[in-house]
A and B are shown apart, each in its own frame.
Chain A
Amino acid sequence: MSSTFVGMPAFPEAARAAVDDPTLRANLRHATHTIRAKRARAVAELADWAGLRAAGRRIKDHTLRHLDRYLEQLEASVTGAGGTVHWAADADEANRIVAGLVKETGESEVVKVKSMATQEIGLNEALEAEGIRAYETDLAELIVQLGKDRPSHILVPAIHRNRGEIRDIFAHEMAAWGRPAPENLTDTPADLAEAARLHLREKFLRAKVGISGANFMVAETGTLVVVESEGNGRMCLTLPETLISVVGIEKIVPTWRDLEVFLQTLPRSATAERMNPYTSTWTGTTDEDGPRAFHLVLLDNGRTDALADRVGRQALRCIRCSACLNVCPVYERAGGHAYGSVYPGPIGAILTPQLRGTASEIDASLPYASSLCGACYEVCPVAIDIPEVLVHLRERVVEGGPAVRRGNKVVLRPARGHAAERAAMRAAAWAFGHPSALRTGQRLASRSRRLHPRALPGPGRAWSGTRDLPAVPAEPFRDWWLRTRGGKDAK
């Protein structure tokens, strides 16, 4: 499987393949149901959860409203603490900056902390093209990288793999990347973790350059924060001589007091932990401790465009906890790869079409990858109304209209492939505006009901391939009402 998402089929087609894969279905069902139940218990422990959720929302909304000011404050704080700040408008610019910084050190390999932003910009591939090898050190990202696979979950990128598959990947692939897996590797969690530990340890001790993202950036002090479970991130953040962090501009919180809210809501929402095992914070550079050079690459890559959208901008509150993925019935059956983006699930379905636009077939199909059941909104720790944004983006797909692309105001044209649907919607709206015509249609349907097939041909198979059609009644309700005066006369 390719490690990029270029040329992805639209969501429904990719999802169909996943639905038909029994191993994948079983892996996903087991994993999402387990974490779903744990999260519910962890959240229920806090009496003030609703208050924390509201506070998280307010802090993020405030920060986004004044993002220009907080970004400049952050730049000043980071610079004052000995770091260097770079601004990247898009993925290409960010990749060029990072590749240039690595080359300046004279190194040809880097160790990486798990990072969504660097996945989003395809940093590993860009570095590879410049002769620089990037080693993923998060256990799940390592599994994905060794398996020449793609991540399928924000927090648990190898959620689609079971232990047996992971054992096979380690046994067959580790040798090509460094220390091979031990002989006779079993699929017990302890053995798999030990194999990864030995393999990664040599990378940590050798690397001179580390690359990370960040969960938060505190504007008042210029402090970056990474929360993780394994400690591998901390290895990358502390051992190398040079640290480069690529972070989306929406990751700012104004103060440490604001950070406190998210350090409560993120672990409980993400891994169902009261507190995550490793919380690393660093502010610029410190003499004789940790990296001697620190570079912060602030990434836009569509975020300012999303910020310009009154409805869509709430997606920028996201703290990447994945609670919406774990609770989503569509994600559970379609799997993460079907979303064609490093951001899968409900949040991906509203984030990707805003960051990348809706021009491609996969991106235009994402807003429809939901039954609008609302489970995602219910669990979101920053109260992103994902169904609201999905419907808003559907409107953008079918109607086009004003949007901002790369900082410029544009008027989008309606996406292709919706002509028949648009005609049907308009026809239905006309009929619903003319009750007498509607009644004639209902009567026709009722009178011809013995001729109705139980299954439909052509596009109708989308319904009747798996579901019988309801039988049309002999008489629509409104005819009964008129005939019996609302049941007052004989039935």
Chain B
Amino acid sequence: MRVALFLTCVNDALYPETGKAVVKLLTRLGVEVDFPMGQTCCGQAHYNTGYRHEAEPLARRFAEVFGEYEAVVTPSGSCGAMVRELYPRMGERARAEGRGDSLARTLAPVVPRTYELTEFLVDVLGVTDVGAWYPHTVTYHPTCHGLRGLGLGERPHRLLAAVRGLDLVELPGAEECCGFGGTFAVKNAAVSAAMGADKVRNAESTGAEVLCAADNSCLMHIGGTLSRLRAGVRPVHIAEILASTEEDPAL
């Protein structure tokens, strides 16, 4: 199977360790991963802020860059949801605007082949025990677009529960948004910060060392809040936990 890693622009620039972890994890599971260099951004920030027309060329680029792969794996629930939920909608809107089928037809092939990482592991590879070792207390925050957009459900929990040494503790109010929301974080900074502070308080109440999620954009907001509030919890992407082994442990 030809599998491409769609790392996302945020991870490429700010969280390369997450990308390395995905490569390490998938390689360990026998999957040959490619990273097409033409990839940039799925267009989510543009689309969600009201710049759908600016997002269209980015979506077309995505479809061209990833079109030849049988599966596209991304360690981001929101970018995964952008492709799966919103690319078809962009095609529909272009059609409704009298611009024909071109966009819809270009985007259609990559939509069903794009998977968020935990989906790919559980649904495509059919594994929940990925052979990981991570001797820490971890609490999991299901990010909104993964939870309600892609319907990841129990997949991340099942993967984490199978990690040796990992003590998974439940996060109170887990399904409440952390307050990131892309440009919402700066457009409505006060509300966003209040939501982030509540998420941090809930994380602290679990006594966990690590707050884990499947989306670094949310973790950037939660992590920035954790560090500002000097909370004793670290933000870690789920890929880094699943990639961690006794021979090559993650922090």
Could you tell me which A residues sit within 8 Å of B by CB distance?
11-12, 15-16, 19-20, 25, 310, 329-330, 333-334, 367-375, 377-378, 388, 391, 393-399, 421-422, 425-426, 428-429, 431-433, 435, 438, 442, 445, 459, 462-470, 472-473, 475-478, 480-482, 486-487
Which 5 A/B pairs are nearest by Cβ-Cβ distance?
Answer: A371-B181, A467-B224, A394-B50, A373-B177, A477-B16
Question: Looking at the complex, which one of A377, A398, A467 makes contact with B51 (CB distance below 8 Å)?
Answer: A398
B177 touches A375 (CB 8 A): yes
A431–B180 Cα gap in the complex (Å)? 23
Residue from the set B55, B193, B194, B228 with the largest chain A CB neighbour count within 10 Å: B194
B61 touches A465 (CB 8 A): no
B9 within 8 A of A: yes
Could you jot down 18 A-B contacts, CB within 8 Å? A25-B194, A371-B184, A372-B181, A375-B176, A394-B50, A395-B50, A398-B49, A428-B46, A429-B54, A431-B40, A433-B58, A435-B37, A438-B9, A438-B40, A467-B224, A468-B224, A475-B16, A477-B20
A330–B224 Cα gap in the complex (Å)? 20
B47 within 8 A of A: yes
B144 touches A15 (CB 8 A): no
Query: Whose C-beta in chain B lies nearest to the C-beta of A402?
Result: B97
B125 within 8 A of A: no
Query: Whose C-beta in chain A lies nearest to the C-beta of B78?
Result: A372
B24 touches A391 (CB 8 A): no
Give the residues in chain B near A367, CB-CB below 8 Å: 50
A421–B189 Cα gap in the complex (Å)? 16
Interface on chain B toward A: helix, strand, loop, or mixed SS?
helix
**Given A428-B41, A438-B40, 19 other A-B contacts at CB below 8 A?**
A12-B187, A15-B188, A16-B191, A329-B179, A334-B191, A372-B184, A375-B177, A395-B52, A398-B50, A425-B45, A425-B54, A432-B40, A432-B61, A435-B39, A470-B220, A472-B14, A476-B13, A477-B20, A486-B33
Question: Looking at the complex, which one of A371, A467, A470 makes contact with B177 (CB distance below 8 Å)?
Answer: A371
Give the residues in chain A near B179, CB-CB below 8 Å: 329, 371
B111 within 8 A of A: no
A371 touches B61 (CB 8 A): no
A477 touches B11 (CB 8 A): yes
Question: Looking at the complex, which one of B7, B144, B187, B221 makes contact with A467 (CB distance below 8 Å)?
Answer: B221
B177 touches A329 (CB 8 A): yes
A371 touches B180 (CB 8 A): yes
Give the residues in chain B near A396, CB-CB below 8 Å: 50
Give the residues in chain A near B14, CB-CB below 8 Å: 470, 472-473
A333 touches B12 (CB 8 A): no
Give the residues in chain A near B53, CB-CB below 8 Å: 399
A368 touches B193 (CB 8 A): no
B104 within 8 A of A: no
- Chain B residue total in the interface (Cβ 8 A): 72
Query: Digit string of B220-249 for contact with A (CB within 8 Å is 1, else 0)?
Result: 110111011000000000000000000000
A19 touches B194 (CB 8 A): yes
Give the residues in chain B near A19, CB-CB below 8 Å: 190-191, 193-194
Contact A421/B49 with A371-B180, A438-B40 known, Cβ cut-off 8 Å: yes
Question: Looking at the complex, which one of A371, A429, A481 makes contact with B192 (CB distance below 8 Å)?
Answer: A371
Give the residues in chain A near B41, CB-CB below 8 Å: 428, 432
Contact A467/B228 with A19-B190, A372-B48 known, Cβ cut-off 8 Å: yes
Question: Looking at the complex, which one of B13, B48, B187 makes contact with A391 (CB distance below 8 Å)?
Answer: B48
A431–B61 Cα gap in the complex (Å)? 12
Query: Whose C-beta in chain A lies nearest to the C-beta of B41?
Result: A432
Residue from the set B9, B12, B20 with the largest chain A CB neighbour count within 10 Å: B12
Shortest Cβ distance from residue B1 to the other chain A in the assembled complex, whole angstroms = 16
A372 touches B182 (CB 8 A): yes
Query: Whose C-beta in chain A lies nearest to the C-beta of B56?
Result: A429
| Interface residues in B162-181 (C-beta closer than 8 Å to A) | 175-177, 179-181
Query: Whose C-beta in chain A lies nearest to the C-beta of B188?
Result: A12
A397 touches B50 (CB 8 A): yes
A435–B53 Cα gap in the complex (Å)? 20
Shortest Cβ distance from residue A423 to the other chain B in the assembled complex, whole angstroms = 11
Give the residues in chain B near A432, CB-CB below 8 Å: 9, 40-41, 43, 58, 61
A333–B190 Cα gap in the complex (Å)? 9
A469 touches B224 (CB 8 A): yes
Query: Whose C-beta in chain B lies nearest to the C-beta of A12?
Result: B188
Give the residues in chain B near A16, CB-CB below 8 Å: 190-191
Give the residues in chain A near B194, CB-CB below 8 Å: 19, 25, 333
Give the residues in chain A near B15, CB-CB below 8 Å: 470, 473
Query: Digit string of B28-68 for contact with A (CB within 8 Å is 1, else 0)?
Result: 00000111011111010111111111110110010000000
A373–B147 Cα gap in the complex (Å)? 9
Contact A487/B228 with A395-B52, A473-B14 known, Cβ cut-off 8 Å: no
B91 within 8 A of A: no
Question: Looking at the complex, which one of A372, A470, A477 makes contact with B12 (CB distance below 8 Å)?
Answer: A477
Give the residues in chain B near A462, CB-CB below 8 Å: 185-187, 189
B188 touches A425 (CB 8 A): no
Give the residues in chain B near A422, CB-CB below 8 Å: 51
B50 touches A330 (CB 8 A): no
A310 touches B96 (CB 8 A): yes
